[in-house]
A and B are shown apart, each in its own frame.
With several copies, the nearest count.
Chain A
Amino acid sequence: MNEPRFLPVVPTDHPPACAASLVHDFTPELISVGAHQLCPGCGEPMAIRAVAEAVAELGLTRSCIAVFGIGCSTAFSNNLDIEVVQALHGRAPSVATGITRMRPDVTALTVQGDGDMVNEGLQEVLHAAARGERITCFMLNNGVFGETGGQMTATTVLGQRTKNSPEGRDARHHGHPIRLADLVATLDGAVYVARGAVDTAVNVQRTKRMVLKALQAQKRGFALVEVLTMCPTGWAVDTTRSARYMADHHARIHSMGVLKDTGGGRSR
């Protein structure tokens, strides 16, 4: 990493002078403000970006309402150029239900953390899925309550140290993690269920495709995409090691893939 230093640094403070096309913008179209307050290396912005991009690409910008849960991602709820209804902690699926029932023409989606969806709001998402509500729920799963400082959630994997499982999550005392997407996939009302991750650029792209699929499937019923995100702060792991940490711990239990797709058959 020292060697390239001798190479000249390319100027990057202005667009190139010679003919070139912008192939990816730093600020996604529907995210209004660049300077959000999430931690360095946080995985949530990438997931939210994927959702915002998918909404734009599917032409849903003018017919979409995003319902946000309470967690770190709430910082984005007043930051998007998509209509937003902010819900209370855990309650987003019901709120989205109220929306979609009164306006079936609108695409209602939720953005929730794992604490929001699998702890406080487990019942909400399962009932919404069983009802086959025409909504898509996105769950940013980092295995901790990020916002409150990194405590154990219902998805925290065994052995993981958190603020309130100081010796690591122990099945005997703290129980087992819930694989939310797997649980939802067993319900009759769910039509598309997948789990992605944002630890690598390739996974970000793959997740983006899941997001697109889910938003299309939602016409037929309930869709869910769980996205594994890094939380270097809550995990007390260096940003540079957090992607690896996720792959080695969190993603081992919560494995990536399409768990249900009633439209396109079952595949991984």
Chain B
Amino acid sequence: MERELLMTGIGGQGVQLAARLLAHALTAAGRGVQLFGSFGGMMRGGNTEATLIAADTAVESPPTVPLAWSAIVMHDAYADHVVPRLRPGGWLLVDSTVCRTPWRDGVAPGGVRRPDAAFDVLEVPATALARDLGSPAAATMVAIGAYARATDIVGADALAQALPEVLPPHRLEQATANMRALAAGYGAVPASSRPAWAEAPA
């Protein structure tokens, strides 16, 4: 079984780091994982997107997928590319502090492929929660915490343990802040509302 996550935001939000954190935690938890990150371009503050695939066994898919089980939208600037790729039955976690697009209606402003599909949307005021913690840049960590809690895709401990692995040396000082953000996200949503796995990994 493969579970796909598309994560989108704008440069500077820390989308790549957050996706890497989740990927490392999943790997440590014994899942097969593939992560593709795309960012940058001729401009700063541009599109940043990650495709994460987790599986019971090794991942066979190409780096990007036409359809996904879930998405995290940290900013709606480039979400047009993402939301229409949710599978029927797919769902969306949005940073409701920042995103103003009414995804919850299931219709993307720029033309969704299947405008009739109703998305299951989980709203998390990630930026607001992060700001409350005094580290607004950690909103993506809040989102990851919430995602993990909602899906049980990986345990909170695994996330916490993976954090030092992915933080670059000059940002290690931010470990505690990030840890708190993860926890805030974890606490912000109900448990296991969208379980990723039928059972524990092999």
- Mark A residues whose CB is within 8 Å of B: 36-40, 42, 72, 74-75, 149, 161, 166, 233, 236
Contact = CB atoms under 8 A, between A and B. Distances in A.
A114 B159 CA distance: 40
User: By DSSP majority rule, is chain A's interface helix, strand, loop, or mixed?
Assistant: loop
B134 interface: no
The 3 closest A-B pairs by CB, nearest first: A37-B43, A37-B44, A39-B44
B44 A233 contact: yes
A160 to B, nearest CB: 12
Interface string B22-53: 00000000000000000010111110000000
Contacts of B169: 166
A149 B12 CA distance: 12
B170 interface: yes
User: By DSSP majority rule, is chain B's interface helix, strand, loop, or mixed?
Assistant: loop
A75 B43 contact: yes
21 contacts: A36-B43, A37-B43, A37-B44, A37-B45, A37-B46, A38-B43, A38-B44, A38-B45, A39-B12, A39-B44, A40-B12, A42-B44, A72-B44, A74-B42, A75-B43, A75-B44, A161-B170, A233-B12, A233-B44, A236-B170, A236-B171
Contacts of A42: 44
A75 B45 CA distance: 12
A40 B43 CA distance: 13
A112 B170 CA distance: 29
Nearest to B45: A37
**Taking each of A72, A74, A75, A161, which has the highest tally of chain B beta carbons within 10 Å of its own beta carbon?**
A75
Nearest to B169: A166
A117 to B, nearest CB: 19
Interface string B162-192: 0000000111000000000000000000000
A148 to B, nearest CB: 9
A42 B44 CA distance: 11
Contacts of A236: 170-171
B147 to A, nearest CB: 27
A40 B40 CA distance: 15
Contacts of A166: 169
A40 B45 CA distance: 9
A24 to B, nearest CB: 25
A75 B42 contact: yes
Contacts of A233: 12, 44
B14 to A, nearest CB: 13
Interface in B41-83: 42-46
Nearest to B170: A236
A42 B12 CA distance: 13
Interface in B89-121: none
A188 B169 CA distance: 31
Contacts of B43: 36-38, 75
B127 to A, nearest CB: 16
Contacts of A161: 170
Nearest to A36: B43
**Taking each of B40, B44, B45, which has the highest tally of chain A beta carbons within 10 Å of its own beta carbon?**
B44
Contacts of A75: 42-44
Given A161-B170, A236-B170, 4 more contacts: A37-B46, A42-B44, A149-B40, A233-B44
A1 to B, nearest CB: 16
A36 B44 CA distance: 9
Contacts of A38: 43-45
B10 to A, nearest CB: 10
A39 B170 contact: no
Nearest to B46: A37
Contacts of B44: 37-39, 42, 72, 75, 233
B133 to A, nearest CB: 18
A36 B170 CA distance: 28
Nearest to A149: B40
Contacts of B170: 161, 236
